[in-house]
Amino acid sequence: MKPLADCQLYTFVDTAYLNGRAPELIAQQLCDGGSDLIQLRAKNSSPEDIRAMAEKILPVTRRANVGLVINDHLAIAQELGADICHLGQEDFFDAGFKHVSELRTQNSKLKIGLSTHAPEQAQRALAAGADYIAIGPIYATGTKPTAKPVTLDYVRWASTHATVPWFAIGGVNLQTLDAVLAAGATRICVVSAILNAPDIAKACAEFRRRLG
């Protein structure tokens, strides 16, 4: 995969939006459209099912030089040699971890991304050595309906304070994108606006074009 600093478009194979479609075929379409990173997010799937999906997606992302991110499941990411594991605040800090180095096995190149929902959480994640942080949800989103939007103010804060690559997430679509970019974002996560599009590769390519 390319360096995180060069990654702009972060997309998802989210089982909540697959509607019977094969995860590896969605991953291929995301790669074809110009994704830099693809996260496998399967909140209601068993670890066995997640591992099976990841095993099918990994060859697709490797061929395309796209980073594969495993959400929540550190052991699966380590076992399969995925590029990144993404963890929420509760999966990392509430689980007793203080620094990402605690999660890395010897000779592991696994990168760790952390979700953040406020400046204090971002500062804590930066101090913990996160390789990247997610900033959001910027807007209300059906992907996380109970999460309170952090607004563009948090994007503006991140643009001047974050010292690692950071991605704006939550309600980012072609209608909201310009405002997110104007607030200082240069990297975005997009879930439903791409997965619900009639042509996934074409939708990806349009976000890619708008990112510049």
C-beta separation of 159 from 184 below 8 A: yes
Residues 6 or more apart whose CB falls under 8 angstroms from that of 52 comprise none
Residue ranges per domain, the chain?
A: 4-211
Q: Position of tokens 């200082």?
A: 184
If one looks up domain 4-211 in CATH, what number appears?
Answer: 3.20.20.70
Q: At 52, is the secondary structure helix, strand, or coil?
A: helix
CA dist 202 and 135 (Å) reads 25
CA dist 13 and 67 (Å) reads 13
Q: Give CA separation, 184 vs 76, 205, 211, in Å.
A: 34, 21, 12
C-beta separation of 195 from 17 below 8 A: yes
**E-assigned strands of 37-171?**
37-41, 67-71, 84-87, 111-116, 132-135, 166-168
Whether the link from the prior residue into 137 is cis, omega within 30° of 0, is yes
Q: At 49, is the secondary structure helix, strand, or coil?
A: helix
Residues 6 or more apart whose CB falls under 8 angstroms from that of 5 comprise 165
Query: What pLDDT is attached to residue 106?
Result: 61
Query: What pLDDT is attached to residue 107?
Result: 61
Query: What pLDDT is attached to residue 148?
Result: 85
What pTM was computed for the model?
A: 0.95
The packing angle between helices 200-211 and 23-32, to 10°, is 40
Residue among 175, 207, 202, 206 at smallest CA distance from 189: 207
Structure tokens at 13: 């194979």
Q: Is the dihedral of CA 199, 137, 82, 130 positive or negative?
A: positive
pLDDT in tens, the chain (212 residues): 999 999 999 999 999 999 999 999 999 999 999 999 999 999 999 999 999 999 999 999 999 999 999 999 999 999 999 999 999 999 999 999 999 999 877 667 899 999 999 999 999 999 999 999 999 999 987 767 777 888 899 999 999 999 999 999 999 999 999 999 999 999 999 999 999 999 999 999 999 999 98
Q: What is the DSSP letter of 13?
A: E
Query: What pLDDT is attached to residue 113?
Result: 98
